[in-house]
Structure 1
Amino acid sequence: MISLRFRLTKGAALLAAIAVVASCGLPRSGPTKSEIFAGSVMEDGDAFVLLVDDRVNLVAGVTPALGFAAGFRDAASLGSDTIRPGDVLGLTIWENVRDPLLVPPGQNATVLEEVQVDGSGFIFMPYAGRIRAAGNTPEAVRRIITAKLEEQTPDPQVQVRRLAGDGSTVSVVGAVGAQGVYAIERPTRTLASMLARAGGVAIQPEIAQVTVVRGSHSGKIWFEDLYDHPGHDIALRAGDRIFVEQDTRSFTALGATGSQSRVAFESQTISAIEAIAQVGGLATNLADPTGVFVFRNEPEEIANQLVGRSDLVGTQRVIYVLDLTEPNGMFMARDFAIRDGDTVFVTEAPFSQFNKTISAVFGTLTSVKSATTALGG
């Protein structure tokens, strides 16, 4: 009788010790699944908790697209001989008369080198006056000069050459092989050819973004889209600024994963499965595969579609739930697109907390057998 009472007393003491340890708040990587669900609007919280299915994937998978506006796409390529402000022209005039206007005595032609087009687009020609050059081709300028000189000398012969042009350049900076200022020439009239002229991109093409600034307008695309979608290979204009940079998007991984960190995107799109794989997968001795959560702030348009409402105003907190143990759970996670700023959190399995409690009381689970043996002794 004493032995039974002793065993019961020790058993009660053991249970009490386990209860005390469990109530003290054991170390863990984050909230439990039930604590996250408690934050739902259904439980007087301020977040919408949604189980991911095909419909949710369709709505939540919308990602901001990069591209150029019509003003960039519709601009025609500049001709290699189009004259612009800042260009330098070379002029040659022939006169077949005894008393020429411009040709020195004893010669049959005069050469005017380095005639620069001013900021307003004009040049000055003796006896012809101020002539509009910008926007014209050398041939058009030749005809204008010829017409003006014909009024003062018979049958003048004029040649106009475009020698150089400070006004027909673009600047290329950022993650390229050779930053610098480059002229728009016949081989470099478009964005792709100009980037090639600058040595190409110096980062992984998958995460390279190209921004073009033209006056007060700008557009950004993925570098790979220059080749996948030729319409993005826009024609360049004088003064364009081209900037190549690495994708700055990232997500945060926390909880029972191989590592917990802020992770940069390695491609244009990343699925939930890929995001988990990037941080070492689920921790096999801790993770609960039924409790993979993605925390995100959704704009009101998407939030209203997700919950079937129309009265939500402003950014809404949404928690997406992925259960990898469901028949199609892995497919849902594969199709769920991670976005910039997302937090991916994997909860710990209930057994891991129980294991921690037992370990805190006995040191290891192996000690339970010894304790049971002691109680029976």
Structure 2
Amino acid sequence: MSSMSSKLTVAVISSLLASCAAVPNAGPSYHAIESQAAVKLSTKEKKVGIDYVLIDINKSILGYFQSETISSLKDGFGGGRGGAPSIPLGIGDAVEVSIFEAQAGGLFIPSDAGSRPGNFITLPPQQIDSNGNISVPYAGRIRAAGRAKEQVEREIEDLLANRAIEPQVVITVTERKSSQVAVLGDVNDPQKVEISSGGERVLDVVSTAGGISAPGIETYITLQRKGRTATISYNKLSNTPAENIYVAPGDTIFVNRERRTFLAFGASGANGRFDFEESSLSMGEALAKSGGLLDSRAEPAQVALYRTVDAKTLHKLNIDTTAFQSEEIPVIFRANLRDPSAFFAVQKFAMQDKDIIYISNHDSVELIKFLDIVNSVSSTASGVSSDVVATRDAVREIAD
């Protein structure tokens, strides 16, 4: 290429860049957006500023990422083993109090009772009031809420001992409004489920509410109890008996369907959001689902997967996380698909909901882009066009 042609090419490119405002655009350029801003909040070199960990995918890490990470109800609340939790009386419960005496002629059973069936009376049903009390004649107001039924029975007996003949008291709970669990979300019959002293587990109350209305693999169960929350997938809950813990009064269970998706960007066959659908995915399957790598653009050695990982998992890999304040740490996993054995690894590496796959362009692609621009703006310069085309084609041959 002659010196005159080179100078002309540079001049043409400079002219084009200087007059870029005349080139058709769909909207304002980023130069205009930045220059006309009244106030700018930015960082040095316009970096986002989020630190992350870079991990190359290899056989040594596969054991930690071969299955989806799912939280636990058992670890969060316990209750998977042992008997059902005791259920005390509570405000709003309806109870009946029956009082037995050893013989007629006592406080409640008159001497002329005749042929009445048994020496007892049953008081009219009553609700435990907002103060947590019930009322029993000659015993007064008695604290019931928060206490076991047997405790309240013994107290009434003690209070009546000096008036009734060897009194015995039996309390029957006719309605347990304080011992209910709310089941909401993607169930066929959302409702409040009354739990009994025999104990109900999570799947029991979900079943009472009509069962789930979405595919099990996309359904998650969230348990809320006294300000604490834990979530687990329905499949793991149903397949792991220890996770099917007892519910407690006042619990709220949310059943929700979450479309499990991942994003694919860069030099993949298709960019966008993709559903897991009704199955689990490996990284290899996700790459295939998004169209694979583009032969003309992709750098197989730079296939990245973006995910947040809990610090405990990274500690198992002997990764120092002291530079991070959060327990959820951004991680980029990198796969080198130029290595034949990497295809075995990505087929074992499990995808998780909301993962992002990014496939980088090969370095030669950026050079070809530049040469294409030079070719387009220098076509009026004699000899330059053919030289650029020849150079571009040579680079493509090297890249291929």
TM range (shorter): 0.5 to 0.7
Provide Cα deviations, 1:136-177, integer angstroms capped at 9, x if missing partner: 554554443333323112234544311111101111111111
Q: Which of 238, 243, 258 is the equivalent residue of 1:232?
A: 243
Q: CA deviation at 1:130?
A: 2.6
- Distance in structure 2 (CA, Å) of the matches to 1:229 and 1:322: 33
Is the Cα–Cα contact under 8 Å of residues 91 and 160 in structure 1 kept in the other structure?
yes
Q: Which deviates the most, 66-75 or 226-235?
A: 66-75
Q: Which of 145, 150, 173 is the equivalent residue of 1:162?
A: 173
Kindly indicate whether residue 96 of structure 2 is the aligned counterpart of residue 90 of structure 1.
yes
AA partner of residue 207 (structure 2): A
Is the Cα–Cα contact under 8 Å of residues 103 and 110 in structure 1 kept in the other structure?
no
Q: CA deviation at 1:118?
A: 2.9
- Distance in structure 2 (CA, Å) of the matches to 1:306 and 1:135: 47
Q: CA deviation at 1:83?
A: 3.0
Sort the Cα spacing of 1:302 and 1:285 in 2 relative to 1 into closer, same or farther, 3 A: same
Q: Sequence identity of aligned pairs in percent?
A: 26
- Distance in structure 1 (CA, Å) of the matches to 2:313 and 2:174: 56
Is the Cα–Cα contact under 8 Å of residues 90 and 178 in structure 2 kept in the other structure?
yes
Is the Cα–Cα contact under 8 Å of residues 303 and 312 in structure 1 kept in the other structure?
no
- Distance in structure 1 (CA, Å) of the matches to 2:72 and 2:194: 24
Sort the Cα spacing of 1:299 and 1:174 in 2 relative to 1 into closer, same or farther, 3 A: closer
Q: CA deviation at 1:273?
A: 0.9
Sort the Cα spacing of 1:63 and 1:144 in 2 relative to 1 into closer, same or farther, 3 A: same
Structure 2 match to 1:177? 188
Aligned residues: 325
What's the TM-score once normalised by structure 1's chain length? 0.67
Structure 2 match to 1:127? 138
Provide Cα deviations, 1:278-336, integer angstroms capped at 9, x if missing partner: 33444577656555332456678877987976775568875443233423121111122
Kindly indicate whether residue 78 of structure 2 is the aligned counterpart of residue 73 of structure 1.
yes
Structure 2 match to 1:52? 57
What's the TM-score once normalised by structure 2's chain length? 0.64
Structure 1 match to 2:355? 342
Which consecutive unaligned segments of at least 5 residues does structure 1 have? 1-15, 25-45, 362-377
Structure 1 match to 2:124? 113
Structure 1 match to 2:337? 324
AA partner of residue 324 (structure 1): L
Provide Cα deviations, 1:350-374, integer angstroms capped at 9, x if missing partner: 999999999xx9xxxxxxxxxxxxx
Q: CA deviation at 1:191?
A: 0.8
AA partner of residue 165 (structure 1): R
Sort the Cα spacing of 1:187 and 1:177 in 2 relative to 1 into closer, same or farther, 3 A: farther
Is the Cα–Cα contact under 8 Å of residues 73 and 231 in structure 1 kept in the other structure?
no
Kindly indicate whether residue 155 of structure 2 is the aligned counterpart of residue 144 of structure 1.
yes
SS in 2 for 1:242: strand
- Distance in structure 1 (CA, Å) of the matches to 2:52 and 2:84: 51
Q: CA deviation at 1:88?
A: 0.9
Provide Cα deviations, 1:155-209, integer angstroms capped at 9, x if missing partner: 3454431111110111111111111111113676111101111111111111211
RMSD over aligned Cα, in angstroms?
4.5
Is the Cα–Cα contact under 8 Å of residues 173 and 179 in structure 1 kept in the other structure?
yes
- Distance in structure 2 (CA, Å) of the matches to 1:184 and 1:260: 49
SS in 1 for 2:141: strand
Is the Cα–Cα contact under 8 Å of residues 218 and 278 in structure 2 kept in the other structure?
yes
